[in-house]
Structure 1
Amino acid sequence: MSRSAPPAHPEPGSLNAATDSAWAVFWVFLRLGLTSFGGPVAHLGYFRDELVVRRRWLSEHSYADLVALCQFLPGPASSQVGMALGLMRAGWAGAAAAWLGFTLPSAVALALLGLGFSSWGAGMPAGLVQGLKVVAVAVVAQAVWGMARSLCASAGRAALMLAACALTLWQPGVAGQMVAMVLAGVVGWWVWGRGLGRVRAIAPAQPAGADDAWHIPHGHRTGLALLGLFAILLLALPWIAGQCATLSAGAFAVSVLDAFYRAGALVFGGGHVVLPLLQSAVVGPGWVSADAFLAGYGATQAVPGPLFTFAAFLGGAMAPGWAGAGLALLCTVGIFLPAFLLVAGALPLWAQLRQRPWARGVLAGVNTAVVGLLLAALYQPVATSALHSAADVVLAGMALAALLWWRLPPWVVVLVTALAAWGWYGFH
């Protein structure tokens, strides 16, 4: 069965309209970059609340399809989702604006911390950091609840979601996540993918005015070229670094770019997984001390935005003054560049593939597994690392109520919860 043509005049909230300027996209993601605490899983919850629920840039199913793609790709999944949304909303400039807005606050803060860490001290108060961790529990819980209601409405999907959650908890790490999504995709193909009508019959109704079409400003050839450039840089940068070392021309900068590009290109599972690669890359050769590395990683937990901006701290800690600022910029661009090349290259291929009947069945299963992965992450590591007392549980429950029932903006909930925890732990 062929897909019906998109409407001649799509709704303003549809990605198919793609009428926003890059400047408008920048301001949306700058606000997210200033308020999105809690790691990649929480970031996906913030994105969903702001861009799916509030702004209706895309439907729940399109968002889940995009999250599923970015979960399969190496690199920071939440940043890749943001880049893809900016690309589809305002073209190439929109992709740059989304990345810059989401990354800039934490990158600038961490670069400055790297440049002046020895004179700054330990950083944010412990109570304030604890409040930010607690509110992340509420944000992830809200995302799980909302996505489960939409994507796991039937008993079969709910069972598949719970199975994916159990498998991920039993086998933590990237391997368990990938196996859960692959198995769920096989189940989706077998149960729902052998006829488009069957998939539509079990899929929840789309919100009024929502359109599942993706507006992508480039085609397959450009996508394949971007994927080819990703592979070429991955293979060529080590050789170029070696040649520069022989010629003593810009060797250090190229070596730094190579190290951070490889870290961003070869890591599945988000920011925390990149730490061993970064530690061996910068501590081993003596670019950054072990104490500074650990202190910077701790400070990274206290700022909003993607964990990959830890690269900005490491670059700033490598040299003082303008040299350190330049290295901070180089490290940040280097670690995020492969993520952009991969998601921009894969989008046109994924956009066409997701329309095929068998692929829609696979996506039905994978999207269900994504909810299961979020549920598992809600327990471990989000809740287990944040909820240590009855006060933490009560505070997280109040934050969740503020998000679900009182409909307060997430940034308000983040600010109030963090200040409440700071005040509570300051007196106890």
Structure 2
Amino acid sequence: MFEIFWRFLILGLVSFGGPVAHIGYFQKTFVDELKWISQESYTKLVAFTQILPGPSSSQVGFAIGLKRGGVFGAILAFIGFTLPSFLLMYFAVTIGIFDSNSILFGVVTGLKLFAVVVVADAIITMYKNFCKTTLSIAIALLSALFLVLFSNITATIFALIFFAIVGIMFIKSEKTQEDVNPHKKINYIYLSLFIIIFILLGIFGVYSDIAKFINAFYSSGSLVFGGGHVVLPFLQEFLKEFISNDSFLVGYALAQSVPGPMFSFASYLGADILASSPFLGALIATITIFLPGFLLVLAFYDSWEYYSSKKYVFGAIAGINATVVGLLISAFISPVFTSAIFDFFDLFLVILGLVILRRYKIKILYLLGLFCLVGVVL
């Protein structure tokens, strides 16, 4: 259990680049290096989280913790991965940690370059695993082109659904190479809890400011597909009575500069809104924005493992996985590449890091430290 916590804590300290980049970090750490989860199970898991509302990369981490150590392992995975960004966003409100810290700025610069390396490595690895046929290659390239041209959540959902249908129609099922969990039903306890909380907060939010405050974060976490930047308009609409537009945008800008899940933006908002008890406000906001997505993972995880072995579901997963490669490519172009690469020297460092990582199989923590050092020196 402690290993689950500290492995995710390390990733929470260094995982820049947003949810798509986080999938690459998890792939490298838990599939390639630690072997906690097989490639087949991981690809199913990524496909699973793409169709659920909530913070997709955090749901992947939560599910890995669930597979490794049960519900308690899932909770530890969430705490470890989220704690660094939670504390950074909280301290950004209370002590202005980002105001004038050149060393921290240098480390962040190095880690953004490191994120480019990790995402590029994830694209290569996942392309090899997901794109083995002409059709899957075509799906990956077409979805990448489409998502570069139409970079919004509606386009992403459309691409996932469209190419899932293509997969069902044209990709034949194969026999899975590992044992599949016996048929298990949906866990209706967690599903009911998700629905009851959603309804009650909506009702009591009309009469109570604190319930309305909590409902803003719970509803945002319940309605957002893809997480990350998509949560911005939801939170802005729900919280317009509680926080000024300037403070909201400052917090959102800071959220781009911290590692870990973008949903930690809620930590900043909670601390700013409950100024008399900022830590409590940050804690409530963080828990309630992540909670609905995690309840849905708990509700459908076992049944998803079973149904994902069925032939039509297999075809849908294959289509979704190829689309995820396209999503990785589009996210690599923007915002990962465009937010980190500003000159030819930056590009040289990224190419060098990718060569070192893939050719010489250097441990990812060593490469991470090297990029941090480079960022501080430069």
Under TM normalisation by the shorter chain, which class is it?
over 0.9
- Name the structure 2 match of 1:115: 94
- Name the structure 2 match of 1:103: 82
User: Where do 1:12-411 residues align within 5 Å?
Assistant: 22-117=1-96, 121-122=99-100, 126-193=105-172, 196=173, 199-200=174-175, 211=178, 213=180, 219-221=184-186, 223-243=187-207, 245=208, 251-252=209-210, 254-282=211-239, 284-285=240-241, 287-320=242-275, 323-411=277-365
Change (3 A) 1:78 1:215: farther
8 Å contact kept, 2:4–2:65: yes
Q: What CA distance in whole angstroms lies between the structure 1 residues aligned with 2:110 and 2:148?
A: 25
Map Cα deviations across residues 275-306 of structure 1 (whole Å, 9 max, x no partner). 12223333x21x33333333322222222111
Q: What CA distance in whole angstroms lies between the structure 2 residues aligned with 1:308 and 1:95?
A: 17
Change (3 A) 1:416 1:289: farther
Q: What CA distance in whole angstroms lies between the structure 2 residues aligned with 1:173 and 1:409?
A: 35
8 Å contact kept, 1:58–1:212: no
Q: What is the TM-score when the length of structure 1 is the normalising length?
A: 0.82
Any unmatched runs of 5+ in structure 2?
none
Q: What CA distance in whole angstroms lies between the structure 2 residues aligned with 1:213 and 1:62?
A: 10
Q: Judge which range, 100-109 or 22-31, deviates more.
A: 22-31
8 Å contact kept, 1:105–1:304: yes
8 Å contact kept, 1:59–1:212: no
How far is the alpha carbon of 1:402 from its aligned partner?
Answer: 2.6
How far is the alpha carbon of 1:79 from its aligned partner?
Answer: 0.2
Q: What CA distance in whole angstroms lies between the structure 2 residues aligned with 1:388 and 1:404?
A: 24
How far is the alpha carbon of 1:96 from its aligned partner?
Answer: 0.6
Q: What CA distance in whole angstroms lies between the structure 2 residues aligned with 1:55 and 1:415?
A: 19
Q: Judge which range, 342-351 or 50-59, deviates more.
A: 342-351
Q: What CA distance in whole angstroms lies between the structure 1 residues aligned with 2:63 and 2:101?
A: 33
Change (3 A) 1:40 1:355: same
8 Å contact kept, 2:85–2:258: yes
Q: What CA distance in whole angstroms lies between the structure 1 residues aligned with 2:274 and 2:160?
A: 43
How far is the alpha carbon of 1:267 from its aligned partner?
Answer: 1.1
Change (3 A) 1:168 1:215: farther
Q: What CA distance in whole angstroms lies between the structure 2 residues aligned with 1:213 and 1:396?
A: 39
How far is the alpha carbon of 1:126 from its aligned partner?
Answer: 4.7
SS where residue 385 of structure 1 aligns?
Answer: coil
Map Cα deviations across residues 54-100 of structure 1 (whole Å, 9 max, x no partner). 11122222111111111111111110001111111111101111111
How far is the alpha carbon of 1:215 from its aligned partner?
Answer: 9.6
Q: What is the TM-score when the length of structure 2 is the normalising length?
A: 0.92
Change (3 A) 1:375 1:292: same
Q: Judge which range, 379-388 or 50-59, deviates more.
A: 379-388
Change (3 A) 1:414 1:24: closer
Q: What CA distance in whole angstroms lies between the structure 2 residues aligned with 1:140 and 1:93?
A: 29
Change (3 A) 1:257 1:376: same
Change (3 A) 1:255 1:293: same
SS where residue 339 of structure 2 aligns?
Answer: helix
Q: What CA distance in whole angstroms lies between the structure 1 residues aligned with 2:256 and 2:169?
A: 41
Map Cα deviations across residues 218-239 of structure 1 (whole Å, 9 max, x no partner). x525x23322222222222021
Partner amino acid for 1:345?
A
- Name the structure 2 match of 1:4: none
8 Å contact kept, 1:89–1:215: no
Any unmatched runs of 5+ in structure 1?
1-21, 246-250
Q: What CA distance in whole angstroms lies between the structure 2 residues aligned with 1:414 and 1:294?
A: 30
- Name the structure 2 match of 1:10: none
8 Å contact kept, 1:88–1:214: no
8 Å contact kept, 1:37–1:303: yes
Q: How many residue pairs get matched?
A: 377
How far is the alpha carbon of 1:120 from its aligned partner?
Answer: 6.3
Q: What CA distance in whole angstroms lies between the structure 1 residues aligned with 2:221 and 2:357?
A: 33
Change (3 A) 1:150 1:298: same
Change (3 A) 1:86 1:63: same
Q: Kindly name which structure, 1 or 2, has the bigger radius of gyration based on alpha carbons.
A: 1
8 Å contact kept, 1:35–1:411: no
Q: What CA distance in whole angstroms lies between the structure 1 residues aligned with 2:345 and 2:245?
A: 34
Partner amino acid for 1:403?
L
Partner amino acid for 1:64?
T
